[in-house]
Amino acid sequence: MRDKTEGINLDRLIEDLGNDDGMKRKKARKMLVNHGNQAIEALTKLVDHPKHIYRWEALKSLEEIGSPLSIPIFIRALDDDHSDVRWLAAEGLIKGKRKSLKPLLELILENSDSVFVLSGAHHVIHKLHSDNLLPEGFPAKKILSLLKNPGWEESLKILVHQTLKEIKRESD
């Protein structure tokens, strides 16, 4: 049986993600998604592209692929200047479920002064909490409350640091 993605040039598909024709972009994205993990490296290069459409299409493709390998890419994109790119990054982290938690909490510690990061983290944790996908004992309500109040940055950092220690202890 022949692979349906065989013979397709990834570079050409990546280039098509910036096409003015939305149907060409959608077709290229679908073909990249069909490549699965093989397309992740090429898509990763677009996360810092100066053109918004490339970043959006890359994250949309990665979110549709749904691989845990994309979690670091979604983490980086949570601080993008465009809200639709940040939204896709958060959706990708939600798809990563518990595997996204540790890197997300680490990002909160590193960038607790970023409204974009706090907003994205709130979306991810809220959705994981409402879908009962967080580990038992995860202080979701406390973290969500602190994420909404940037003035409580130090309290947030303390709670996130304690939560990270607990997650690391449970994974050892």
Q: How confident is the model at residue 4 (pLDDT cuts 50, 70, 90)?
A: very low
Residue 121 lies in a domain: yes
Residue 168 lies in a domain: yes
The per-residue pLDDT for range 30-52, each reduced to its tens digit, is: 999 999 999 999 999 999 999 99
Domain count, the chain: 1
Residue 133 lies in a domain: yes
Counting every residue written for the chain, the total comes to 172
Query: Is residue 11 pLDDT above 90, yes or no?
Result: no
Distances 20 to 16, 26, 66, 71, 130 between C-alpha atoms, Å: 9, 11, 26, 28, 38
Is 10:39 a contact under the CB 8 Å cutoff?
yes
- Mean pLDDT, rounded, of the chain: 91
Cβ neighbours around 128 below 10 Å, total: 22
Rg (CA), the chain: 17
The per-residue pLDDT for 172 is 58
Residue 148 lies in a domain: yes
Domain span at residue 125 reads: 98-172
Residue 138 lies in a domain: yes
Residue 124 lies in a domain: yes
The answer for residues whose C-beta is within 8 angstroms of residue 16's C-beta and 6 or more apart is 24, 25, 27, 28
Residue 3 lies in a domain: no
Is 114:150 a contact under the CB 8 Å cutoff?
no
Task: Classify the C-alpha dihedral 25-28-31-32 as positive or negative.
Answer: negative
Distances 71 to 32, 46, 96, 142, 147 between C-alpha atoms, Å: 17, 15, 7, 24, 21
Residue 17 lies in a domain: no
